[in-house]
Copies of this chain bind each other. A is one copy, B any other.
Amino acid sequence: MSLTIYGDSISGNCLKVKWVAERLSLPFRWIEVDILKGESRTPEFLARNPAGQVPMVILDDGRALAQSNAIMVYLAEGSDLIPADAYDRARMFEWMFWEQYSHEPYVAVARFHVKYLGKAVAELEPRIVERGAAALARLEAALTGTTYLVGDRLSLADIALVAYTRMAHDGGFNLADYPATLAWVRRVEAALPIGDPA
């Protein structure tokens, strides 16, 4: 497989795709797209991904694919990152859709506002702070007493959720308040493996 990943290195959504490619030993080329400079909104980029978002990948036949979690599923089909059991697989998807709806819009957006737009944590919309904390509390409950989110091995659910959870401190959340989650973050980082928190 010849794979080109268009991504911004500051984006957890983009890093997810990179980690899956690395974990599965899929050779890829990484093309840096600076979202803060609007590089995902140029006419050339929009022609390939009308959503104007990274990550986007170009497959070996030149076709494009977007949405971090959809790309991960495509790359990981047939690998041990997707559970073979139908119910476990469904639970993996449940976590991945929940991540995009109930976790990323708060935990990642808080980080973006603080780290890249220069807001103070105290200036964040209360709704973002509350819902981010609720997402982390739900993860903490799910991870207490378990090693991975689904079944007993690493899956795309862990990779999807670890991406911004490991950087939650950038948005003012304190992972020390979520000890099972913090231990899981370190476990998933070691399993992938991925380096120091961005």
> Which residues of A come within 8 Å of B, CB atoms?
50-51, 59, 63, 65-71, 73-74, 77, 86-87, 89-91, 93-94, 96-98, 100-102, 104-105, 138, 141-142
Contact = CB atoms under 8 A, between A and B. Distances in A.
30 contacts: A50-B138, A50-B141, A50-B142, A51-B98, A51-B102, A51-B138, A63-B87, A65-B90, A65-B91, A66-B94, A67-B93, A67-B97, A67-B101, A68-B97, A69-B93, A70-B90, A70-B91, A70-B97, A73-B90, A73-B93, A74-B87, A74-B93, A77-B86, A96-B97, A97-B97, A97-B100, A100-B100, A100-B101, A101-B101, A101-B104
Contacts of A50: 138, 141-142
Contacts of A70: 90-91, 93-94, 96-97
Contacts of A69: 93, 97
Q: Interface majority SS on A: helix, strand, loop or mixed?
A: helix
Given A51-B138, A96-B97, 12 more contacts: A51-B98, A51-B102, A66-B98, A67-B97, A67-B98, A70-B90, A74-B86, A74-B87, A77-B86, A100-B100, A100-B101, A101-B101
Given A87-B59, A138-B50, A142-B50, A94 B67 contact: yes
A71 B93 CA distance: 9
